[in-house]
């Protein structure tokens, strides 16, 4: 079983030609409502890829919380959602330009209340051989408690350090895999090192395997056993890059749970992410398992010709 403990947001997405400068007003081309939040995105991506997953999170007692729960039900996703009477549902305001790039403002809302109840639920269920997938959009204390529980249960932990915080360095001994992008790994490591040195720093600090997401430049993987891969990104026409990293992480956790070969797992995760950026939205943009397999087959066929 894969447990995802994390954030869930109501996303308000506006598509526009270009981002406004300070003090400038620009017109949007279209508007889109969407279920988001890094935790929910990861959980839904695992579900759509035929994985066994349980999402644990919190919403407010408001319209947006009800909207999100209805959306989760449409995916037949197993979840434990606490409804907070004191906090509003988390929200993200997302601008997407004509090149598919995005700028995001997040209001944490009820995600900031993810604490004892959620931790108790996880503690009662996670077992040896399970996986815990997490991100940085819930309180740090909760993250620490969760990874400690996972390590004690001998479950594997995949952590996406986004949004990055320097205090995440205290988590390294508990993490099986960490998946930063270039900006995040800069914040998590000393400034004097180049990228390969930064990866080595994370491994020496306790992380087993490091995946650095380089966007259009692909990914770099390295682990404590000396395995190293640098894989190019798949070339696609990006429409919206929102949740691309979340979908990569969800796909990777799925592959780990299925005991797929490592290099194939990385390519599978890249393919799922690549497909997602050709579609609008966050979790809704994630492909299903058959779509990823078809994409990989077509990519291999193209490269062999």
Distance CA(150)–CA(145), nearest Å, equals: 9
Neighbour-count burial of 199, counting CB atoms closer than 10 A to its CB (0-12 exposed, 13-18 middle, 19+ buried): buried
Tokens of 213: 């997401």
CA distance 16 to 31: 9
Evaluate if pTM is beyond 0.75.
yes
Amino acid 190: pLDDT? 86
pLDDT exceeds 50 at position 2:
yes
pLDDT at 304 over 60: no
Distances (CA, A) of 124 to 152, 153, 198: 12, 10, 36
The reported pLDDT for the residue numbered 94 is 86
Closest to 275 measured CA to CA, from 293, 260, 258: 293
**Stretch 186-214: mean pLDDT, rounded?**
93
Average pLDDT score over residue span 8-17: 92
- State the Cα–Cα distance between residues 285 and 36, nearest whole angstrom: 11
Task: Check residue 106 and give its pLDDT.
Answer: 87
Percent of the chain with pLDDT over 70: 98
In a domain, 24, yes or no: no
pLDDT digits (tens, 9 = 90+) for 246-280: 999 999 999 999 999 999 999 999 999 999 998 87
Residue 153 confidence (pLDDT) above 50? yes
**Average pLDDT across the chain, whole number:** 93
CB atoms within 10 A of CB 12: 17
d(CA 179, CA 187): 13
What six digits make up the tokens of 168?
Answer: 């995440």
Instruction: Using alpha carbons, select from 108, 102, 82, 81 the residue that is nearest to residue 9.
Output: 108
The DSSP symbol for 234 reads P
pLDDT, mean of residues 125-132: 97
- Which tokens hold the place of 32? 């889109």
The model's confidence at residue 305, banded by pLDDT at 50, 70 and 90, is very low
Nearest to 18 by CA among 8, 10, 28: 28
CA distance 255 to 234: 18
Residue 140 — φ and ψ, nearest 5°?
Answer: -60, -40
Contacts of 126 (CB under 8 A, 6+ apart): 1, 3, 132, 149, 150, 153, 155
Which helix H or strand E contains 30, and what residues bound it? strand 28-36
| Residue 152's pLDDT band (cuts 50, 70, 90) | very high
Q: Is residue 7 part of a domain?
A: yes
Is the Cα torsion angle 256, 158, 149, 206 positive or negative in sign?
positive
Quickly state the pLDDT bin for 242 (edges 50, 70, 90): confident
Main-chain dihedrals φ then ψ at residue 8, nearest 5 degrees: -140, 130
CB 203 within 8 A of CB 222: yes
Task: With a cut of 70, say whether residue 301 has pLDDT above it.
Answer: no
Q: What is the CATH number of the domain that holds 230?
A: 3.40.1190.20
Exposure string of 75-105, with b = 16+ CB inside 10 Å and e = fewer, is bebebbbeebeebbbbbbebbbeeebebeee
Q: Would you state the pLDDT for residue 101?
A: 83
pLDDT digits (tens, 9 = 90+) for 44-78: 999 999 999 999 999 999 999 999 999 999 999 99
Tell me whether residue 23 is in a domain.
no
Domain count for the chain, please give it: 1
Q: Any catalytic annotation for residue 97?
A: no
Over the stretch 204-224, which tens digit does the pLDDT of each residue have? 999 999 999 998 899 999 999
**Residue 148 belongs to some domain of the structure:** yes
Mean pLDDT, residues 96-119: 91
Q: Which of 11, 95, 160, 246 is catalytic?
A: 246
Question: What range defines the domain where residue 54 resides?
Answer: 2-17+29-299
Distance CA 305, CA 154 (A): 45
Q: Looking at per-residue confidence, does 160 or 163 come out higher?
A: 160
């Amino acid at each position: 079983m894969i447990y995802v403990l994390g954030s869930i947001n109501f996303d308000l997405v506006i598509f526009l030609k270009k981002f406004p400068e300070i003090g400038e007003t620009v017109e949007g081309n279209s508007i889109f409502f969407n279920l988001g939040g890094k935790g929910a995105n990861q959980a839904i991506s695992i579900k759509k890829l035929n994985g066994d997953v349980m999402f644990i999170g919190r919403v407010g007692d408001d319209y947006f919380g009800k909207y999100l729960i209805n959306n989760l039900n449409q995916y037949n996703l197993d979840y434990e959602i606490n409804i907070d009477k004191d906090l509003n549902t988390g929200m993200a305001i997302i601008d997407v330009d004509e090149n598919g790039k995005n700028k995001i403002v997040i209001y944490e809302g009820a995600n900031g209340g993810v604490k004892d109840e959620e931790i108790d639920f996880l503690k009662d269920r996670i077992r040896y051989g399970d996986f815990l997938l997490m991100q940085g959009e819930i309180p740090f204390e909760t993250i620490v408690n969760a990874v400690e529980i996972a390590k004690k249960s001998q479950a594997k932990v995949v952590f996406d350090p986004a949004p990055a915080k320097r205090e995440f360095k205290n988590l390294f001994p508990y993490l099986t895999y960490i998946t930063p992008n270039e900006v995040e790994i800069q914040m998590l490591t000393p400034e004097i090192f180049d990228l390969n040195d930064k990866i080595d720093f994370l491994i020496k600090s306790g992380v087993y395997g490091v995946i650095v997401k380089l966007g259009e430049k692909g990914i770099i993987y390295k682990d404590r056993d000396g395995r190293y891969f640098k894989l190019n990104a798949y070339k696609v026409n990006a429409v919206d890059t929102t949740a691309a990293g979340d979908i990569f992480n969800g796909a990777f956790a799925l592959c780990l749970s299925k005991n797929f070969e490592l290099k194939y797992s990385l390519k599978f995760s890249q393919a799922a992410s690549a497909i997602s950026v050709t579609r609008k939205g966050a979790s809704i943009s994630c492909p299903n398992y058959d779509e990823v397999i078809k994409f990989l087959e077509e990519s291999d066929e193209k490269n062999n010709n």
